[in-house]
Structure 1
Amino acid sequence: MGEIKIDLTQIKFDDLDEALFLDDELILKNKNFIFAKNGSGKSTLADAIKKQKENEYDVHIFKGFESVLGENEKLNAFALATDGGENQKRIEELEHDKTAKEISKTQISDSLKEPIEENADNFFTKKKKAEKRLLEKQGVIDQFLYESGKFISSHQMPTLTENPRSYNKNSFKNEISKRQQLQEVEISRAKELLKSEPRLLNTYDFSNINYKKYLISINEILQSKVEEKTKIVRLNSQERINFAQRGLELHKHDEENICAFCGNEISIETIEELETYFSADEVKALKHRIIKGKDQISKEIERIDNLKLNSTDFYPDFIPEVEDEIQNINEQTKIVKTFLIELINSLEIKEKNLFSESSVLEISVPANIDLFNFNNLIKKNNEFSKNLTAEQEKARAKLRYHEIYNLVEKKHYAVMLNEQENAQENLDEAQKNFQFELTKKIALENEINNLDVEIAALQPKAEKQAINHINKKLSSKVLWELDFFDDENSGYYQIKQDGKCRGVKQLSTGEKNVIAFLYFIEKLEEMKETPKKNKIVVFDDPMSSNDDTMQYLIICELQRIFQGNEKNKFIPDKDFLIILTHNVHFYLNVQPHGNFKDKKLDKTDKNNPKLKEVSKYDKNNFYRIQNRSFKLITGEHEDFKTSYEGLWIELKDLYACGHKNSMLNSMRRIIETYTKFNSIDTKKFYKGNDEYLKLFNVNSHSIDDLSAESFTEDKEQMKDLFRQIFVDNDAGSHFEKYWEK
């Protein structure tokens, strides 16, 4: 037993995003019987089944005679076809269209092949000429690439490739995008690099000095002075003290002791007095500090002077940057030396002015000489030296790209490419035009093939077998039979009765419906060209206003189908049948009759299999659409017993939805059925009650009047009045039985 699911959430109200049904899905078995009043969505459901399942199944839907029987009022005949009918005039129009397209196709075909005339021009010749022109331009470029590749590979002093034998025209072509013009200095530098040998340089360890402490120490010395231990009255100024000190230095070892300034004799006492004055401990200490400071500063100046930097030992690539950095360091050196010299000069002045405080130096303290960048350049140079081979290959590549640049410019390679591009564009245009015409030709061929298919589909088909089957089924039910219009190949039919023909205009709706229904049944066995699929067959309200005889015929045909009597049309355990109807009588009679229950072994519990009763409600699915939901009927206690009971169920559904006009229609039908079955005079049933007559009298209003009439009673009042009319006729229990049920 098979099962399929229909996604109900995809079925929407027209122009609304809200789902038509409240359930998420509908489960269908091989045979399904669905009862629903008109307007509840039966036709919409049928369309949704086709939309959701037509890729997996061969879906057939019967929606009445309009979907099968095509009326031709001009011929007063009808066609039978699942896809409608067309006449011979349409076929002639298609044949005329086909001839015109074949002429166009021939003309295009001639333009796409070599012309017979020697100088003729068409899409074929234009494409050939463009192809030839492009090959010529490509040949010029190939020759240039070949010669240029050979020039690069054979170049000497220096060689421009690491492996000249492997360098060819493709190598040259691939490197054109890398071409770059070099300046003379760059060329010289690259050539020098190719001649270079590995060279490693030592970095400079030039420690930093705290020049601020230098300045502080010097200023401390300048602010120092010697306090006189022995007072010499005549040395009452710094100038005289300096003069005396210098004189002592000049005459200290002079035996004559004659003053060089005044020529007088200097006494031994004077010399001893001055020696005592200038040889005091404080004087010695201050002099020592000055001498030590001068010595330390002189050594720093010497250390700076010994800092000899040059760029000659660097690789060519680094020389410009190294020279810039040397100039920067020289400027730093100059600032530092100026500072140090000023410190020495201040000490030399202080050396002559020991007995008085000197002014402090107020000068800026220079930064230390920064060799960080210079040492980094040395490291880069050394790293470069370690990677010399790779760097030399880079230099070789630069020279090669320079030569490629020269060759490309000299031979006007850009012009060659432009000419090739123009030739390619001309060919593209020619191919585009050629392909456009070829596409037109293919499109015409497809159109012609489609016309052939359409013409074949419209050609009158031999339906004699189907017509014979239909007539056989109708022979015991009606006095007429189907007959071909004009001849068997026309594709149109009429009704024939007592040797006379009736056209489509004289057919009743019931006659059209039963003819269309039987033809639909016959077409179920038609083989499709596509690979065989299981079928889904949907009958959407197959009953119309047929008489009882036709209803019986339709019911019998449907039962033969789902009982498996015609497996060429429907296979019960593989195919799916869905019967949708609003007719309670039809619903009750079309389904499998009786409540017989089979015995089936239930193996759900493998250790304890049991016999289980299986009814038609287990084998098939029965549904009733109520308030936009699918109610699954699981047993006879939930299903209709009679058509009369169905009227009561319909009334309760309308009551739940609040459809007052439709409620009145159902109430009248119930009263009509009840009174006829019980042989009750309707006048007596209404008891002369005006309110009863106004609402429930079947003969007082037509359906159209009922729909248009306005009345004040709400649904509860209508229910109470309907109950009361049964109570007034001693049938209150009858109302309660069916309403509660």
Structure 2
Amino acid sequence: MIESIVLKNVATYNTAGICIENIKKINFYYGANGSGKTTLSNFLQNPNNPKFNDCSIQWQNGQKLKTLVYNKDFREQNFGNGKLNGVFTIGQATKAEIEVINKKNEELQKIKEDGIKKRATLKIQNDKKNDLERNFKESIWKKIYKKYEKEFKEAFVGFISSKDKFNDKLLNEFSNNTSSLSDLEELKDRAKIIFNEIPQNIPLLSMPECDRILEIENHVIWNKIIVGKADVDIARLIQKFNINDWVNQGRSYIQDNDDTCPFCQKQTISEDFKRQLEFFFDKSYLQDLESLKKLKQEYEYLVQNIINQLDGIELNQKNLKSSKLDIDKFSAYVKTLVSQSVINVELLNNKSKEPSRKIEIVSLKEQLDLISELIRTTNSEIAKHNAIVLNFNTERKNLINSIWKFIIEEYRMDISSYNTQKIGLEKGIDALKTQVESKLNEYSALDSEIKTLSKDVTSIQPTINEINRLLKSYCFLNFEIVPTSEDGFYQIQREDGTIAEETLSEGEVTFITFLYYLQLAKGGTSQETVNEERILVIDDPISSLDSNVLFIVSTLIKDILKDIKSNIGNIKQIILLTHNVYFHKEVSFIDGRTKECKETNYWILRKNDKTSSIQSFGVKNPIQSSYTLLWQELKSEELSSSLSLQNIMRRIIENYFKLLGKFGDDDLIEKFESKEEQNICRSLISWINDGSHSINDDLFIELPDRTIENYKKVFKDIFIKTDHEGHYNMMFGIEEE
């Protein structure tokens, strides 16, 4: 069945168009001539016509049915040459044969209904699968891509142009990624290197040579008391006063061939004294002093070299963008080292001045070890960096794989749950597809069997007999339907045997072609199409017919409506369009007690300002009588044409006051007391008569909204002044207080 229809950008349907929804089994459309009914029927007859490119039909369960349209085109196409195509119906068959066909048709209907249910279930399962996939795509986009976009966007390149691509990539990685798992911080560090500019080699930091410094620091000489020989006469005096260093320093001031003491400036320096000094400060003493001097110089040199080396490293690494060195920690270590070395140099200077003293050197080992360890750690990071540089493309690929591995492990439960649900739904969908396919095959086989059976018992004679029976039963006695010499056709013949094609009235042609249409609706133009399910679209079937035939046509259609409501036969839906109020009332009448039917819907089509619109009334029939319809049109918010408004007001006043109430124009005018009100009423009646019987030239006459509103007010006042306000309120649906 048809569920909805969209009409736009064709004939009187504008760009916005109309959408007819909630179409039931039985559908009545009322509309005046020119309101858009024929456009609707033409679309349903030939939806593939290019002029209907912007229009559409929504079919129930996506299943299209054959649509038979009765309109003016149908009459011309099927009676243009005076011949009617043969309509095949169940004809010369025994009761048993017909029962077999009917039984198989019932089985076919059950198979179809079962198939529809399975397709509906299949659609539900597909919708669930689609919802699951859509929700998962949205979820991973937010949870993964948006979360890691900043750090790992390069790893997602090629898969972020759509959520579908990102989803497919994630599921593929989940199934195939075998990379080892890395922690997040490591991945971020590697990404900073690889995903930025192409990295360059970084030279390794040179390791300071510390061994010799440490050897010097641990030399025994620093704790050795360096003094002269004890067995010299002056030794006891020097040692008593502990003036070894002072005396040794004084020796340098003693000049050869001079006996003056450099301290007291008296002639006390004898050759014997000089000899005792030389014996006291013997070769061993002098060797210790020389060793002390050399060690001190070497130490200062080595320490200064290391400090210079470390300062160079610090300066270089501060200027290196990709440095791996912890500059702050390194600087702190170097400062401490320098401070300690300054202290040690001072101690060594003291030892040089006073060799007899012991000193405790502050060892640089701990600080040098810290610096060495920091350099080793840095060099390890540099080595990793350089390895990446050496094989950049491979490292980049490995990093991307590691990132995806980290992601799929982080969201393994979510992905696994999704896969489990999807697999379950897909299994159910595959099973349903198999069942639907089986039903289609079963339906096709049984349908072929029914067509074969029907072919053996169908003919066009029952159609001829039925049309002739209807003609006679409705007193069309002067002509009948007869077969032609040409197989599969029949024509209309007078009682005297002459062909009646050119002598039939328009009403007779209309009636005959409609009877033919009804037979076509029940049968088919070929033996294979007799049992096809179909939809009927009937557009104004009572044109040029008198009231008696109007009743006949409505009766025939109502018989079809009863079968549709009861699901009898192959007609599944009907769409009826008419401009005739009486025909609409007659064909839509159910019975004296039943006012509504849930299988029925009603619409009214209108055309205002050259544009068609539609109003739905659901199961409530809006057409009560032509007079009632005039009031409905008058109070409709969609009425915007001044010409239509004039005509409606005139017809209401004529029907209510002149025909029923016997009021003339003057009688209505005299009901107003003041001269001014009488003039307004006279003006209204003149305007109504002028507007409803002629079309004003827009070049000279313009009716503003205010004028229309004033006349609406006077129209109401006519009912008030004539004491018929209650009727006005009733027709407008206004409750009186």
Q: TM-score, normalised by structure 1?
A: 0.42
Is the radius of gyration larger for structure 1 or structure 2?
1
The structure with more helix, counted as a fraction of residues? 2
With the length of structure 2 as denominator, give the TM-score of the two structures: 0.42
